[in-house]
Amino acid sequence: MRILHIGTDSFGGYGGIALYNRELIAALASHPAVDEVVVIPRIIVGEREPLPPKVTFVAEAAQGRLAFLRAVRRIGSRFDLVLCAHVNLLPAARLVTKHPLLMLYGIEAWKPLRDPISNRLLHGVHGVVSISEITRERFAGWSHYDGPSQLLPNSIRAEWYGIRPKNRALVSRYQLDGKRVLLTLGRVVAAERYKGFDEVLEVLPHLDADVSYVIAGGGNDVPRLQRKAVHLGIADRVVFTGLFPEEEKADLYNLADVYVMPSRGEGFGFVFLEALACGVPVIGSCLDGGREAVREGQLGQLVDPTNPAEIRLAIIDALASGEKRIPDGLDYFSYANFERKTHAIIDELSNS
């Protein structure tokens, strides 16, 4: 079996979707019946990770929109399965097959697409695989898609993380000595204000003075949040890390006493799994995919992001526990389970 993966980014990508795609591609390639997985990326933003066996990576496709389309056209149609790994790439996937398998992640699939052609193409897909139930429900709500669909949530390789002593160099860099630390990690961009940064900033003045808030990530919304911290009188308690090296991520999580992200638009929230894999208590939202990442409250607390008092009390409760542990239930999201589910999807598609 030969599989084609057409996606935004994967190897050499940054962020949750890129990581999900890397894990998906590895799981596809490990299926005994799969001979090759060909990957056509739309963008490459960083150094490329090692490729799994049986994976062919068409790096030149990421040299621009025309290069991407040329690569898709050139690759031909000699594939048993074509994965369209983003709804906005459906027109490109249709250059190869009339019936791609469509991957859904989050808010990009929660409302009608900007491209009317893609909206029409949705009903010709072979099936849909969604990262979360909330994304599947919201996608079906506006698109009226009623074809085959499956769930394939993120996986976490817990062995890459773990509970560690606080990295003293990072404590010094961010002036966190003697502080209790709240952390949110993600892109700090105006288009993603649903992450919950504002909500945490607004409750910080009502928490003890030794509580600091670390916003890990960069983006065009940082200046606005910095001004807001000044206006709230908490600028000395808020740390903006900017973009950070991937190898520092586990140490950043281990700086935290609580990971808090009262968001409104997360399709899943892989960051919750990363924090849990570092033993950090987590607070997520009851209004989006974060509730699925913490298994409806089994792995962490859920709050209404529109209720500041609820957020504040959840933070106080988590800080008071003072306990770091990796919950047993995190095994539900193990890579082994992810790989097994991926293989089951391939088998079902092959049988149909």
Return the number of other C-beta atoms located less than 10 Å from residue 172's C-beta: 10
pLDDT at 279: 97
Assess contact for 186 and 195: CB atoms under 8 A. Answer: yes
pLDDT at 334: 97
pLDDT at 184: 97
Domain boundaries of the chain, sorted by first residue: 2-155+334-351, 158-330
Instruction: Write down the CATH number for the domain with range 158-330.
Output: 3.40.50.2000
The β-bridge relationship of strands 2-7 and 81-84 is: parallel
Tokens of 273: 């799994």
pLDDT at 249: 93
Q: What is the mean pLDDT of the chain?
A: 95
pLDDT at 240: 97
* % of the chain surpassing 90 pLDDT: 87
Assess contact for 47 and 39: CB atoms under 8 A. Answer: no
* 192-211 mean pLDDT: 96
pLDDT at 119: 85
Q: Does the pLDDT value for residue 322 go beyond 80?
A: no
Grade residue 192 by pLDDT with cuts at 50, 70 and 90.
confident
pLDDT in tens, 64-97: 999 999 999 998 778 999 999 999 999 999 999 9
Return the higher-pLDDT residue of 121 and 299. Answer: 299
Tokens of 81: 């399965």
* 179-196 mean pLDDT: 93
| Closest to 10 (Cα-Cα) out of 41, 34, 32 | 41
pLDDT at 222: 97
Residues in the chain: 352
pLDDT at 152: 97
Q: Does the pLDDT value for residue 221 go beyond 80?
A: yes
Helices and strands of the chain, counted as H and E runs: 13, 13
Q: Does the pLDDT value for residue 183 go beyond 80?
A: yes
Separation between Cα atoms, residue 193 and residue 187, nearest integer Å: 9
Q: Does the pLDDT value for residue 352 go beyond 80?
A: no
pLDDT in tens, 41-69: 999 998 899 999 999 999 999 999 999 99
Q: Does the pLDDT value for residue 8 go beyond 90?
A: yes
CATH architecture for the domain at 2-155+334-351: 3-Layer(aba) Sandwich (3.40)
- Weakest-pLDDT range from 13-17, 132-136, 182-186, 252-256: 13-17
Grade residue 120 by pLDDT with cuts at 50, 70 and 90.
confident
Q: Does the pLDDT value for residue 187 go beyond 80?
A: yes
pLDDT at 117: 83
Grade residue 201 by pLDDT with cuts at 50, 70 and 90.
very high
Separation between Cα atoms, residue 229 and residue 201, nearest integer Å: 7
Q: Does 158-330 match 2-155+334-351 at the fold level?
A: yes
Q: Does the pLDDT value for residue 168 go beyond 90?
A: yes
Q: Does the pLDDT value for residue 333 go beyond 80?
A: yes
